[in-house]
Amino acid sequence: MAARQADVVAAWQLREVGWSWGKISHHVRSRGWRAIHPGVYVLSHAPIQRRQRWFAAVLTVPGTVLSHGSAGACYGFHRFERGYEVVTRPGRGGRTRRGRVLVFRSTVLSGDATRFTGIPITTAARVLVDLAAGLNKERLGRAFRESIRLKRTAAPMVRAAAERHQSRRGTRLLRDLATRYATIPYHRTRSDPEGRGLEVLHDVGAPPPRVNVKVAREEADMVWDGLIIEIDGPQYHLFAEEDARKEEAWRKAGYTVRRIPSDAIYDAPEQLVALAPRGRD
How far apart CA 95 and CA 86 sit, in angstroms, is: 10
* CATH number of residue 244's parent domain: 3.40.960.10
Q: Are residues 123 and 217 in the same domain?
A: no
How many Cβ atoms are within 10 Å of 210's Cβ, its own excluded?
Answer: 16
| Domain total in the chain | 2
Q: Are residues 151 and 239 in the same domain?
A: no
How far apart CA 192 and CA 260 sit, in angstroms, is: 14
Q: Are residues 150 and 202 in the same domain?
A: no
- What DSSP line would sit under 111-128, residue for residue? GGEEEETTEEEE-HHHHH
Domain that holds residue 231: 186-275
> What is the reported pTM?
0.86
Which of 113, 146, 181 corresponds to the end of one domain?
A: 181
pLDDT on residue 234: 81
How far apart CA 248 and CA 231 sit, in angstroms, is: 17
pLDDT on residue 280: 60
Local structure of 170: helix, strand or coil: coil
Q: What is the mean pLDDT for each group of 10 consecutive residues in the chain (281 residues)?
A: 89 96 94 94 94 98 97 97 95 90 92 96 98 94 95 96 93 94 91 94 94 96 97 82 94 97 96 90 54
Q: Are residues 148 and 170 in the same domain?
A: yes
Q: Are residues 170 and 245 in the same domain?
A: no
Name residues whose C-beta falls within 8 Å of residue 219's C-beta, 6 or more positions apart in sequence. 212, 213
